[in-house]
Amino acid sequence: MNIGIVCYPTHGGSGVVATELGSALADTGHNVHVISYAMPFRFQAYRHNLSYHEVEVTAYPLFRYPPYDLALAGRIMEVVDQYGLDLIHVHYAIPHAVSALLAREMLGQDGKNIRIITTLHGTDITIIAQQKEFQRITAFGIEHSDAVTSVSDELKGRVLDVLGERKRPIEVIPNFIDTQRFTPGCCADKRRELAKPDEKIIMHVSNFRELKRTREIIHAFAKYSQKQRSRLVMVGDGPDLGACRDLALELKLRDRVTFVGTYDAIWELLPQADLFVLASEYESFGLSALEAMACGVPTLTTNAGGLPEVVKEGETGLMFNVGDINALAAAMSRMLGDDALRAKMGAAARERAVSVFAKEKILPQWHAFYKKVLS
Ligand code: GMT
């Protein structure tokens, strides 16, 4: 199959999922063309059947807002012309589905057999909640795609609530993880760089958007860490990073909180953690929690969105209500004070990642889905 994959390249789960899916499909012999405005950060272009096509948007004095959606449609059309794509798999309805639909329309007869699949990752729906004028265009992108998938049941339900019952059914295909790359025990030398030998490591990884509620993690750590010898390691970059740094200083945690910044090879750091924390007010799925689980790290997460479909409360980790800093501090204390519980939950987390979300389990679902859409 000749497959086009359209995604955002920035640090975020959808770009990771799109890139990992593209690489996995290329590994199984398909020709995969990733289309984006920058090279996705997990993209490794060393396979002959995996290529990257950049969308260039030229600034022009008359355009206050350079039209990325149109540039993308034009680029998709060129890639179809050159490589004869069978299907275009877009991650996000806005603007990717709409650009793909426009490209197909412009291709006329040449485009009539191309199938368009749209995968929803969550932010599509958040955007609608913030800007009602996107509601109909998102619905249009979904309705006119040949097939639509969602990364969790919860997100599917949310889409149906917001947009109403659609003519186009939504299939749930969860995100997957490479359990060979994300594995317990990897890269033990990194631990020395992150913490002192007697410190337990609580780790958080995100893009520090407001929705991740990263400051609450620091507040909870401040309450908890008065009692225990431990270090909070915060990985990533984003709008709230500065405020987090300030807060750590204000709470006199300068020597106890490490800000790593952006770190692409996150599978090297996660296994060093004793506990992983995610305080998000919403996650359609929570890929970073799954990455931690695959590394055998128990998680403390909110019970928001699709997280309960990934984490098993009391089995692979503990959950708390959004904003409940006391509950998070108590959960930190309970988990880090009990080595046996952590080991048990860490093993269960790894087992769940392998048995439910491993690449080998989910990739066949994509193959079958593509076949169904093309037939
Ligand atoms: O959460 C983010 O800030 C990034 C966002 C994205 O667009 O990449 O992540 C979304 O997609 C991921 C992959 O499916 C999910 O694991 C995240 O839960 C989801 N984020 C939200 O729903 C907020």
32 assigned to some structural domain: yes
Residue 194 CA to residue 259 CA, distance in Å, equals 10
Same domain, 261 and 213: yes
How many angstroms does the Cα of residue 145 sit away from the middle of ligand 1? Answer: 21
Same domain, 69 and 22: yes
Nearest atom (ligand 1) to Cα of 151: 14
Q: What is the pLDDT of residue 324?
A: 98
Sign of CA dihedral 232, 238, 240, 243: positive
Residue type, 179: T
Same domain, 21 and 102: yes
Residue 76 CA to residue 100 CA, distance in Å, equals 7
In degrees and rounded to multiples of 5, residue 166 shows phi and psi of -100, 155
Ligand 1 within 6 A of CB of 151: yes
Q: Considering only CA atoms, which of 349, 365, 339 is closest in space to residue 298?
A: 349
Residue 198 CA to residue 230 CA, distance in Å, equals 8
How many angstroms does the Cα of residue 161 sit away from the middle of ligand 1? Answer: 19
182 assigned to some structural domain: no
327 assigned to some structural domain: yes
47 assigned to some structural domain: yes
CATH number at residue 329: 3.40.50.2000
Give me the residues paired with residue 171 across strands. Answer: 149
Same domain, 326 and 197: yes
Same domain, 346 and 284: yes
Q: Are 353 and 345 in contact (CB under 8 A)?
A: no
SS (H, E, C) 272-332: HCCEEEECCCCCCCCHHHHHHHHCCCCEEEECCCCHHHHCCECCCEEEECCCCHHHHHHHH
Ligand 1 within 6 A of CB of 9: no
Ligand 1 within 6 A of CB of 209: yes
Show the tokens assigned to 234: 């915060």
Residue 15 CA to residue 9 CA, distance in Å, equals 5
Same domain, 276 and 136: no
Ligand 1 within 6 A of CB of 223: no
Show the tokens assigned to 114: 């191309």
Domain count, the chain: 2
Q: What is the pLDDT of residue 45?
A: 65
Q: Considering only CA atoms, which of 152, 101, 160 is closest in space to residue 125?
A: 160
Same domain, 94 and 203: no
Q: What is the pLDDT of residue 129?
A: 67
- What 3-state DSSP class applies to 115? strand
Write out the residue range of the structural domain in which residue 123 sits.
Answer: 2-176+359-374
Same domain, 210 and 288: yes
Residue 124 CA to residue 275 CA, distance in Å, equals 30
How many angstroms does the Cα of residue 350 sit away from the middle of ligand 1? Answer: 21
Same domain, 203 and 167: no
Give me the residues paired with residue 177 across strands. Answer: 358
> Residue 168 carries which DSSP code?
S
- Rounded average pLDDT per 10-residue block, the chain, 375 residues: 94 89 94 94 79 91 88 97 96 94 96 96 80 86 95 94 81 97 96 94 97 98 85 97 98 96 96 98 97 98 98 98 98 96 98 98 97 95
How many angstroms does the Cα of residue 199 sit away from the middle of ligand 1? Answer: 31
How many angstroms does the Cα of residue 181 sit away from the middle of ligand 1? Answer: 21
Ligand 1 within 6 A of CB of 20: no
Q: What is the pLDDT of residue 74?
A: 97
Residue to mutate (ligand 1; options 211, 284, 362; most atoms within 8 A of CB): 284
Same domain, 122 and 240: no
